Structure formats: structure tokens, C-alpha cells
Structure 1
């Protein structure tokens, strides 16, 4: 009405009504009235009959009392079955408005969210998030991974670690300790969601796992978790997952490619993005860091020790994962230290083997990490065993070697094909893996089989030529002359 009056000062009644978006009849009513519409008496009558008057109290409300979660579509379909032809689809919006008003007055109590204040130095949060959607490619293969993130609730400082396995205790422990030591202090409380790596979700007597309880006790933190299924209780870290992955995606777009040569390059990229976040909260972090507790003298163990025996097949198993070992270790019992990203094999206080930790992938019942360098010497003595070797498909260092074997097996007799592929693996083990892979790619493109002797000659180091040195011996009489001169000087 105020907009209409403003326009009416300089326009006709029809034009002012059009400008204000009201009808001419409403314009005439406004001009006749001496008060504002809100100051008039409340209307106590309906302008049209209530279409639900016969069924609302008698049928709809009893259904809502029986189950308040019934929606308008279900109720309308039920009314159509009970009263055929009386309630059409146009009644849905009316029923939705009526339901919303009924629930506002008679509905069940709704969940209330309580905003929390986070004093400095009190709360740190940890959580994992799946980052496969970033589409990162490392060394030509899709890199499926998670991101572990630790954040301080007050300042917003964060630390991120790339994780290739699941949400294990080792991943939690190594990520948390790396964050605390980079931060330089410890908060009073550490909160996660209901991680099975930290909490006994199926046990009522013991809430924390022994390893997680020992970890928190080592750093003097109080452990807590949000209620199962209530992710908003951990919202201070959940919201940071979205901002982190959005920032990583934008940085990858700006970079122009999602391919990295090595995992270390991708980890450095992630760390650079995280440091940009931390630079924004540097003043708040400075105030919070002064209130953090001191770190303990050292870190606690970030690994799990498991015994394993190397079998006659030069294989040992750790938690269902098979690893190869040098043949010299056959029959020895190793103490395997399993970290979040790698394993170490110890024998008598000496680390004899270190390998990246193999993880379960889609369709794999028993993951395998077979290093062909451990077994190629034995294969050279028994090349015929390669054709039906159980671990054959896991031994190829690159996909091009597997494709080469398939072509050799299809075109050559089995014995000759085995000798050729074992010879190629031996060449690769001598330090020519990448160069030999390029040569094999070219042969596949040319539809030619590899010639082991030709490739050996091609990859052999160039022979050095010894220079011819002519040595001329002096006459013995010259030594007598030198001795005589020396005696003259001495006199």
C-alpha cells in the first residue's frame, strides 16, 4: 500500500496500481480507507468453503495421531480411495499447508541444536574423508585415497595427511601425532566420531580401545566422541572437509592437470593448500598456542608388531596380505612392524626389509605385494615354472610387461616364452625397468615380439676403451749422475 501511495502521487490510479502490483479494485479500496490494512479488524469468515471440512477432524487428524510421519501425498491417496471422485490432485497443496500448520501446533518435538563456544586450547578434532572424487592420478594410475584431517576448534588450524588404507588405528595414530608435533602442543580434549579404531562400539564395559586409550594417556588428552549417526556434533571438522576438498579441487583445476609423477609430489601439493588455510588463522593460532599443553618427551609407537615366517615360496603373510622376501630369509621368523603406509621386517634387531604397505582393493581377497627382484634369480634357474606360477600376475612391475607375456605366450612355445619373459625381468632388475618398458611399448605398437639378445645388447653399458700409454724408461747411468750431484751438494 505504501508503494501504491508513492506511485499515486505522480501517476493515475490505474498506472499506480500496476506499478504496485495490485488490482484497480484494491487501489480504490486503499484510497477509500482511512487506516492501514493491518489496523483493520481481523476477518472471522472464509472467502470460500473449506474443501477438507468433512474429513479433516473425522479422518485426517486420527491418522496423524496414529503416525505423525504420514505425508500429504499418502493422506491424499487414502482420501481418494475412501471418497472416489471427491478429492483431485489440486487438493495436494492445500493438504500440505494444513499439515504444516497442524504439526507446528500438535506435532512432536523437534531436535534442538545448541551452538557451542570453543575456548582456546580446549578441543582438537580428527576425522577421515574419502577423496576419490578429486580424480588424482599418480604414475598413470587412479589414486584412490582418504584424507585424515586434524583441526583446532577455536583457531581453525588444521593438519592433513594422505591415507591409502582404511580408517585404521595406525592411520589415526600417525596422523594425530604428526599434527600435534607440527602444532607444538596438545589440546585438553580430542574428539572423533565413533571410529572402530578408537572406540569399542559393540562393548558396553570398555568404551575406549586399549591402544587408543594408551595414545591419549601418553599425550595427556581426554578422549571423546560424538553420538553415532550425529555428524553435526562433529561439525567443526565435518565442515572443514568440504572446504578442504573444494580448495584442493580448485587448486587442481588451476594447476591444469590432476596427474603427479609420485605420491610425494601430491602430498607436497596438499600440504601447500593446507598451509594457505593456516596462514589465514595465524593470529588466532598464536593466542591459542600459548594455552596448549606441552608435548611429551617423545612420540609413542606408531606401528603394530606382528610375527611372520617366510615360507619356502619366499612369501610371508601379515594380516591377510602377502609380501615377497629375498630367498635368503626363507625359514626365518621375522618381526614385522606395520605402519600406516609401510612395513619393516626385523631379524635379530636388524631391519632386513622395508616395503610399502599393501591394501585391499576392489575384488581382491588377498592383496599381494610381490617384488620381482626378490625372485628373478630363482626364476632364471627354473624359467619353466613361470607359466603356471600362482604369483605370476602379481610379479609384473608394470602393465606393459604383463601384455608382453600375453603376446609371448600366444605366439611362442611355452618353454621359449618363459625364458624370454624371465630374461626381460632380469634385465629390468639390473636397473633398466623404465627404459625396457619404453622399448616393449614400441614393440607392441609395431606388433613385434621382443628379441632378448637384441634388447640385452641395446641396454648393455657401453664398453670403455683403455688408452695406449707409452712408457719410456730412463737409462741407469742417469741415476748415477743424480747420486753424484746429491753428494756434491751434501759436501
Structure 2
């Protein structure tokens, strides 16, 4: 049409129609005039190819600078950032305008594409169903998750199948260790229902940290034995080469972003307890696996069957209960009932708990504690274990090593601080021991803590006598027991000595 430019699409359409139609008909169907049709037939070059190259419309601000100053910088320091080059040019040439920065960045990018150093190439791999599973740990500190208002220092053990993308995540409270790896891996395999041919980890350098060479060898042997139990071939990528674990390093980021998005949608990053947070992680991983359900079903058919039972996913350590009413394990002191003083206990050490055995009898389960980052000892203390002795020696509370951990709730700690300020040390210790004993005897720890908080708000000291009365058992709550005494003759009949029985026998 007059005044309109011919496009490449019209040109191609015209040349296609020209094969079966005359020039006027083909030109009309392509939206061209007949004269334009004859002109295109004589010169079949596309219109876009006839346009001259666009020339620069303003002077090049880097014409005298780029080759003389920028290129030597890029050649001497290949990793130099464009912004650093720009700041150096501003220092040398203060007359450069702010609009030159983007021009410089594009020019550097083009120069590096043509003359820059060779970059590392990532080779995409063909993954076979049932061939490889990968394990790794990822830090979750940046997400700011809290449990009952307290920051949760944790990692995720992350397992993934390379072919189908099946994932499993397990919350780990401590650092990387064999216990965390064994528990997480076995949970993943049993939820999957099979085992791949090969299991790959990183170099486990975090788990080996601060271990002696013999301990490192022992840990390596245990990981290899774990893999053999499930018929998997263990392998490790080269230390510092995270790309060799690329099938799980990338999904780390995807999983953490998914968790972060879910936390934002939830509206809170605080959970009532650890189990609630673990259910939250399981739900997110479950949604990811649901998207890959078809590929997971395909790969599940290629997995090796699981053995008849799980293997050990804990460390077993023998400890002796000391006269302090507990034992020391991995720089953490744990209290136990004082009747165990002098006994040896067999401890099964898991990532989040301890199981205590006396011989083959399971006595109790304790939450696992960890030493402070600075190296000082940690304490896992239960006041129920020591309150009977504190009653006899209340002043021991004053300098007790684990005093802060002894108090079961913050209200008890705050009240003790107030007592130390307003009363003597002896009176403060005696009052606090009485409060702990009351919580122990009447099983009213939560209600007593609420009453202590009320006393703190009212700026008054606790009245232990009134509290004992408040938390005393109510008379109407005690069951009425009626005792009926049997007659003595019933005992004669029971023994067969009554007269009637003797007459029948005669």
C-alpha cells in the first residue's frame, strides 16, 4: 500500500504465492501493489537486509579511554568488576558523565566475550533411573525460624534422587555428623521404598572438623558400612568442588526459597514446638514430590529392595553417673535421678535426643544438649532430679554451676533475681528452693509460674505459705473410700475349718 514499508513477512508470503499464482494475484494476496510485486520478483532480497547499518549518532565518550586505559586493566585483572573500573575512570577523568557507566559496562561485556579468558563449562549429565541418590546439608539460619519464641539453630539434611527429583528433608539440630546423616538417609530410603545403586555425598569436611585422623577413618568406615547395608556404592565429590554435587546443590536453593515463601504465606516464623516445624517441612517437601509423582513412580520401579531392617543411626557410649547427680557427654552435663549415682549407663546418642539404658532396660529419654560455640560446657538439667537434695542444702543454689538451667521457666529466673536484690542470699535461696519443691510436689509448674509472674507485675515477693495453700489438693477432689471389714468366720470357711464343713466330712 502507498506510504507503507514492505515487511519481511509480506515478502516471504509473496514469494510463496508466486510459485502457484501470477505476479498480480500473488501481490494482491500479499497486500502489495502489482508494481511492487514485479520489483520484488526482480530483486528477492529481504527488506531488512537492504537497510544500511545504523551508525553512531553521537561521539563515542570512551574512544580515547577504552583501549588505552580500560583494556590494560581488564587484561591484568580478569576478575575486576565493571563498577570498579568505572570508579577508577571517574577518579582519573572527573568530566565523564553519569550516563557513560552503562556504555562502559556493555563495552566491557562485549570485550570479554571476544577477548576474555576461557570460563569453566558445566557438562549436563544423563541420569538413569535408580542410579544415583545424593545427600547434603544446608544451613537454614537466614530464615529466622523460632520455636516457642527462641531462635532455632538448625540445618536440613537433604536427600534427592538425580533422575526423578524425589526429595526428603530432615531437620538437624546440631552440625553435620554421622548420626544426622544415618538418620536422615534411612528415613529417606524407607519413605521412598527402595535404594539407588550409588549414594553420593560431599567430602564431609564439616563432619570431620576437629576429629583426629583415626576418628576420621572410623567415620568414613561407618558411612561406607551404612551404604553397604542398603546395597549402595558410596562416592564423594572432590573437596571444594560443589558443582560435582550439582544435582543437589541447586535444589538446595529451590527448597530454601520454597520454605521461605511458605513462611511468608503462613504469616509467622514461630512454631509452638519442634515437631510442628518438622511437619511444616514435610508438607513442603511433599508438595514438591507430588509435582514429580510420575517420574518418581518410574524410578521407584528401578530401585533395589530395602533390607529387612534399618541399621544403627546412633552412637553408643558408656558413661558413669557421678556424685554430682549426672554425667558428662561431649562437653554437656546431663542430670539423672540420683539413685543412679555410681552406675554405668549405656547411652544411645541421636541428633536430637539421648536414650539411657541400664543394662538392656530403657530408663528414660533426654533432650540432647550442645556445648556453647565458645567452647564452654552445656547443661541439660531437670530440677526434679535434684530437688530432694536442694531441700537439705538450699544454699548450694547460690553458686550452682548450672543454676540458670535449673529453673524450668523464665518466671523462676526473674523472681530469683528480684529476691537477690531485695533479700539476703540465704533467704533468696531458701525461697526459690521452696518454690521448686512446690512445683515438684504438687505438679503445678505452669500454674505456679503464672502466679510468680503476677507477683512480679505487682512488685511483691512470693508468699510460700499462701502458695502451698493455693496449690494444696482440694478435699472434695479426694475420693471417698469406704472400708468394709470381713467377719472372722469367713476366714474359717476359707480354711475349711467351720463346723458345717466338718459335719459333712464326718
Structure-1-length-normalised TM-score = 0.78
Q: Deviations over 1:59-94 (max 9, x none)?
A: 654554443334555556667788x77877665555
Instruction: Give the equivalent residue in structure 2 for 1:5.
Output: 5
Given the alignment of the two structures, is residue 67 of structure 1 paired with residue 77 of structure 2, yes or no? yes
Instruction: Give the equivalent residue in structure 1 for 2:314.
Output: 303
The answer as to whether partners of 1:198 and 1:212 remain within 8 angstroms in 2 is no
Given the alignment of the two structures, is residue 434 of structure 1 paired with residue 446 of structure 2, yes or no? yes
The answer as to whether partners of 1:122 and 1:187 remain within 8 angstroms in 2 is yes
Q: CA–CA distance in 2 between the matches of 1:257 and 1:75?
A: 44
In structure 2, the CA distance between the partners of 1:107 and 1:252, relative to structure 1 (3 Å rule), is closer
Q: Could you tell me which of 380, 391, 394 is aligned with 1:383?
A: 394
Instruction: Give the equivalent residue in structure 2 for 1:450.
Output: 462
Q: CA–CA distance in 2 between the matches of 1:271 and 1:134?
A: 17
Q: Deviations over 1:199-225 (max 9, x none)?
A: 79998x979822212212222212233
- Give how far 1:390 is off: 1.9
Q: CA–CA distance in 2 between the matches of 1:247 and 1:150?
A: 16
Given the alignment of the two structures, is residue 358 of structure 1 paired with residue 369 of structure 2, yes or no? yes
Trace 1:54-453 onto structure 2 (pairs within 5 A). 61-72=71-82, 92-196=101-205, 209-361=220-372, 365-430=376-441, 431-453=443-465
- Give how far 1:399 is off: 0.7
The answer as to whether partners of 1:200 and 1:207 remain within 8 angstroms in 2 is no
The answer as to whether partners of 2:345 and 2:358 remain within 8 angstroms in 1 is yes
SS in 2 for 1:100: helix
Gaps of 5+ in 2: 8-39, 488-506
In structure 2, the CA distance between the partners of 1:152 and 1:199, relative to structure 1 (3 Å rule), is farther
Q: CA–CA distance in 1 between the matches of 2:207 and 2:375?
A: 26
SS in 1 for 2:328: strand
State which drifts further: 336-345 or 243-252. 243-252
Number of aligned residue pairs: 449
In structure 2, the CA distance between the partners of 1:52 and 1:467, relative to structure 1 (3 Å rule), is closer
- Give how far 1:171 is off: 0.7
SS in 1 for 2:444: helix
SS in 1 for 2:5: helix
The answer as to whether partners of 1:169 and 1:197 remain within 8 angstroms in 2 is no
The answer as to whether partners of 2:178 and 2:207 remain within 8 angstroms in 1 is yes
Q: Deviations over 1:287-325 (max 9, x none)?
A: 211110121222221111233332222232111111112
- Give how far 1:342 is off: 0.9
Q: CA–CA distance in 2 between the matches of 1:388 and 1:201?
A: 32
SS in 2 for 1:5: coil
SS in 2 for 1:209: helix
Gaps of 5+ in 1: 8-32, 474-491
In structure 2, the CA distance between the partners of 1:455 and 1:156, relative to structure 1 (3 Å rule), is same
The answer as to whether partners of 2:331 and 2:370 remain within 8 angstroms in 1 is no
- Give how far 1:232 is off: 4.1
Instruction: Give the equivalent residue in structure 2 for 1:14.
Output: none
Q: Deviations over 1:201-255 (max 9, x none)?
A: 998x979822212212222212233444444443433343344344444444554
SS in 1 for 2:249: helix
The answer as to whether partners of 1:360 and 1:367 remain within 8 angstroms in 2 is yes
The answer as to whether partners of 1:187 and 1:293 remain within 8 angstroms in 2 is yes
In structure 2, the CA distance between the partners of 1:308 and 1:93, relative to structure 1 (3 Å rule), is same
In structure 2, the CA distance between the partners of 1:53 and 1:246, relative to structure 1 (3 Å rule), is closer
State which drifts further: 106-115 or 231-240. 231-240
Q: CA–CA distance in 2 between the matches of 1:365 and 1:468?
A: 58
In structure 2, the CA distance between the partners of 1:76 and 1:143, relative to structure 1 (3 Å rule), is closer
- Give how far 1:256 is off: 4.8
The answer as to whether partners of 2:139 and 2:156 remain within 8 angstroms in 1 is yes
SS in 1 for 2:312: coil
State which drifts further: 161-170 or 129-138. 129-138
The answer as to whether partners of 1:316 and 1:322 remain within 8 angstroms in 2 is yes
The answer as to whether partners of 1:76 and 1:87 remain within 8 angstroms in 2 is no
Structure-2-length-normalised TM-score = 0.76
In structure 2, the CA distance between the partners of 1:295 and 1:427, relative to structure 1 (3 Å rule), is same
The answer as to whether partners of 1:121 and 1:187 remain within 8 angstroms in 2 is yes
State which drifts further: 223-232 or 266-275. 223-232
The answer as to whether partners of 2:176 and 2:207 remain within 8 angstroms in 1 is no
